[in-house]
């Protein structure tokens, strides 16, 4: 059911609550990498493409700190033979590819994993779902052909990156052709799946691109109980391919909602600033965005953005969006 054209140039709904604050403080801390963290950091490679290996990336991520790359003057693709996993005793793990480094899951495996509640990665607190560290930052990187199909830890999903706990920030990065399981009512995140963040602060995504993702739900970003602040980013050609929605209809496996973004939980908030979403598709609801705040306290804010041609085969509340929450605000944007 298409709702025609909505061109919003003024406030169209009162915001009942403000998205969580705190991103600016995290950004400041991330920019000020401490002397000890720099000393503990790692340079992957010795100046040649051949020296930049999967094993070196896996070891660097496990060590933590600032990770940079010396792979020669040309762009390089590193074929990941294992998933790189963050160890939870790290304060900060920052991967900075300098705009030249691509990590590929080769269509076989997830690329990057952080889970503060995974004892195998060191269990540091009884409040593992609400701890401040590690802080994971990916910047100037490309993640391609990640695939978490068959992964079951904490419900699966996260073809390129899976995160539970701590903090996540994505800057100036590209995600292309990632995958996760094709069915499941609440499973998602062909590119990125997030569960829990410290003090419910939002995941920050800036100046990044998500394209060609395929998953049951949320084929770019997917989360449960997590808020997002996305700015200056682009989402194109992502498809939610599940069938039966959530809860799934009788006789179906479930899924198919949120072509680009899938969010479920209670007090959740999504902010889109200066962002473009085109050509995304959902077999069920929300060709661009599926947003359900179970306690109806969540808010959606869209500012200076363009959302066009994001078909929903099943249901939507406005073009390309299925929203259940407290209120939505659309300002200086095109949604059609």
pLDDT band of residue 41 (cuts 50, 70, 90) is: confident
What pLDDT, on a 0 to 100 scale, did the predictor assign at position 16?
33
On average, the pLDDT of the chain sits at 91
Q: Are strands 42-44 and 276-278 parallel, antiparallel or unpaired?
A: unpaired
* Residue scoring higher pLDDT (35 or 56): 56
Say yes or no to pLDDT of 11 above 70: no
**Best CA proximity match to 92, nearest among 36, 23, 145:** 36
Q: What is the mean pLDDT of residues 18-29?
A: 36
Say yes or no to pLDDT of 12 above 60: no
Say yes or no to pLDDT of 37 above 90: no
Domain spans of the chain?
6-335
Q: What is the pLDDT of residues 322-332, one digit of tens each?
A: 999 999 999 99
Q: What is the pLDDT of residues 68-104, one digit of tens each?
A: 999 999 999 999 999 999 999 999 999 999 999 999 9
Handedness of CA 184, 185, 187, 191 (dihedral sign): positive
Q: What is the pLDDT of residues 159-217, one digit of tens each?
A: 999 999 999 999 999 999 999 999 999 999 999 999 999 999 999 999 999 999 999 99
* Residue scoring higher pLDDT (128 or 29): 128
Q: What is the pLDDT of residues 271-281, one digit of tens each?
A: 999 999 999 99
What pLDDT, on a 0 to 100 scale, did the predictor assign at position 328?
97
SS (H, E, C) the chain: CCCCCEEECCCCCCCCCCCCCCHHHHHHHHHCCCHHHHHCCEEECCCCHHHCCHHHHHHHHHHCEEEEECCCCCCEEEECCCCEECCCCCCEEEEEEEEEEEEECCCCCCCEEEECCCHHHCCCCCCHHHCCCCEEEEEEEEEECCECCCCCHHHCCCCCEEEECCEEEEECCEEECCECCCCCCCCECCCEEEECCHHHCCEEEECCEEECCEECECCCEEEECCCEEEECCEEECCEECCECECCCCCCCCEECCCCCEEEEECCCEEEEECCEEECCEECCECCCEEEEECCCCCEEEEECCEEECCCECCECCECCEEEECCEEEEECEEEC
Q: What is the mean pLDDT of residues 216-237?
A: 98
pLDDT band of residue 142 (cuts 50, 70, 90) is: very high
* Residue scoring higher pLDDT (40 or 251): 251
What pLDDT, on a 0 to 100 scale, did the predictor assign at position 326?
98
What pLDDT, on a 0 to 100 scale, did the predictor assign at position 153?
95
Say yes or no to pLDDT of 50 above 90: yes
What pLDDT, on a 0 to 100 scale, did the predictor assign at position 40?
58
pTM of the model: 0.89
What pLDDT, on a 0 to 100 scale, did the predictor assign at position 286?
98
Q: What is the mean pLDDT of residues 128-132?
A: 94
**Best CA proximity match to 13, nearest among 319, 329, 297:** 329
CA 69 to chain centre: 23
CA 314 to chain centre: 24
């Amino acid at each position: 059911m298409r709702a025609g054209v909505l061109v919003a140039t003024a406030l169209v709904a009162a915001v009942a609550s403000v998205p969580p604050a705190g991103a600016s403080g995290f950004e400041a801390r991330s920019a000020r990498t401490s002397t000890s963290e720099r000393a503990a950091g790692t340079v992957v490679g010795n100046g040649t493409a051949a020296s930049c290996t999967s094993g070196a990336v896996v070891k660097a991520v496990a060590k933590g700190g600032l990770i940079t790359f010396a792979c020669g003057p040309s762009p390089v693709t590193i074929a990941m033979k294992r998933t790189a996993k963050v160890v939870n005793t790290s304060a900060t793990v920052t991967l900075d590819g300098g705009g030249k480094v691509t990590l590929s899951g080769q269509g076989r495996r997830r690329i990057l994993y952080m889970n503060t509640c995974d004892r195998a990665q060191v269990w540091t607190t009884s409040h593992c779902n609400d701890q401040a560290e590690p802080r994971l930052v990916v910047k100037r990187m490309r993640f391609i052909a990640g695939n978490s199909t068959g992964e079951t830890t904490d419900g699966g999903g996260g073809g390129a990156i899976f995160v539970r706990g701590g903090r996540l920030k994505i800057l100036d990065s590209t995600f292309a052709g990632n995958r996760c399981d094709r069915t499941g009512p609440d499973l998602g995140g062909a590119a990125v799946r997030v569960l829990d963040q410290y003090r419910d602060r939002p995941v920050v995504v800036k100046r990044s691109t998500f394209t060609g993702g395929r998953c049951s739900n949320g084929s770019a970003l997917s989360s449960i109980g997590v808020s997002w602040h996305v700015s200056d980013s682009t989402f194109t050609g992502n498809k939610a391919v599940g069938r039966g929605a959530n809860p799934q209809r009788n006789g179906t496996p479930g899924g198919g909602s949120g072509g680009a973004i899938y969010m479920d939980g209670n007090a959740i908030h999504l902010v889109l600033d200066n962002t473009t979403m085109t050509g995304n598709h959902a077999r069920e609801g929300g060709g661009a965005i599926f947003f359900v705040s179970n306690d109806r306290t969540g808010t959606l804010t869209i500012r200076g953005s363009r959302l066009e041609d994001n078909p929903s085969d099943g249901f939507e509340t406005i073009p390309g969006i299925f929203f259940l929450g407290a209120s939505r605000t659309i300002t200086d944007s095109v949604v059609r």
